[in-house]
Amino acid sequence: MNPIKEHINNQSNTTAFKSYPIHFKPILKERIWGGNKLQSLGKELSKDNIGESWEISMIDTDINIVTNGIYKEKSLAELIDLYPNEILGTKVYQKYGKQFPLLFKFLDAKTDLSIQLHPNDELAKKRHNSFGKTEMWYVMQADDNARIILGFKKDSSPEEYLDHLKNKTLPSVLQEYYVKKGDVFFIETGTIHAIGGGILLAEIQQTSDITYRVYDWDRVDDNGNERELHVDLALDAIDYNKKDPKIEYVKQENQSVKLVDCPYFTTNIISLASTYQISKNSDCFLVYICTEGNAQLIVDSTSFEIKQGETILIPAQLTTFTLSGNATLLEVFINKL
């Protein structure tokens, strides 16, 4: 399109766009390791092996549909195509074009996920024409003795890693963390990891679905087949250095506390006990994930509810509103633009 015409179109869209907090229909994913805990977050499950609820996604054909307001039944892709600056924000649009750069999920691990890792931007672009996958986890519920695997216990090497993989002793050299509600972990690309059984968590990540699976506990599906492994692809994608991925923080009532601030996203936690005023610029969208309780987002005199297990998109053009209620909210945006 002619840049002048596109600018004019965007200008006209600015006046036509209606800014309000947007809810989406979740996309539920069956997984060999999935369970039914997502029901506790209000998800309607048709089976007992639902492992993931994709809350806001624009990956391939997995694109969420709006469920509220005048844009109900439109997809996230349609909205961004019509109103890129208004939805994404001026600086996000300049950097990422009409691509929503983050993916938001809830995960229910009934049993252990595979031991896996994700490539960085450079490898993902070269091999898959994709973003890399930097991510973070916020633990919403954990059974007794539930644990995650994150990185090596000490600095390793490709040779040592391959030897343990061959002998099926890889878990013995990996770091385990026993987890509880409220624990936060930041997973850089290349970090070998696995979510253990008995954990329900919120995940924030780059827009990518590239996973290199290296060990799957020798399990098979209902047809007796093992899942594909990606040992060769993973070899030069692994970061063999010991990591310290756990994020320590202290909640503060009615204040925003920073959890993660990386090149791809910034995540704060808000312990809402009454009201909290938000005033921001139009550079970037906001996303709120309600991990506990109920809150209202009040725009002018209109109230929009967000309940536990819900995720809501605040378009970039919406710059002033109030949060009210009793809830724990994860607030996500892109800070480094």
Residue 266 phi/psi, 5-degree rounding, is -120, 135
Partnered with residue 184 across adjacent β-strands are: 138, 247
Both structure tokens of 32: 């060999």
Determine the 3-state secondary structure of 47 from DSSP.
coil
Partnered with residue 69 across adjacent β-strands are: none
- Measured between alpha carbons, how far is 310 from 42 in angstroms, rounded to an integer? 8
Residue 113 phi/psi, 5-degree rounding, is -75, 165
Q: Is 127 a catalytic residue?
A: no
Strand ranges of the sheet holding 102-109, from the earlier edge strand across to the other edge: 27-35, 50-56, 102-109, 199-206, 135-142, 184-187, 246-247
CB 320: neighbour CB atoms within 10 A?
Answer: 10
Both structure tokens of 16: 């036509």
Partnered with residue 121 across adjacent β-strands are: none
Both structure tokens of 103: 């993916």
CB 298: neighbour CB atoms within 10 A?
Answer: 18
CA-based end-to-end distance of the chain: 25
In the set 31, 127, 147, 213, the catalytic residue is 213
- Measured between alpha carbons, how far is 331 from 148 in angstroms, rounded to an integer? 24
Structural contact between residues 64 and 55, judged by C-beta atoms closer than 8 angstroms? yes
Structural contact between residues 45 and 36, judged by C-beta atoms closer than 8 angstroms? yes
Catalytic positions, please?
A: 213
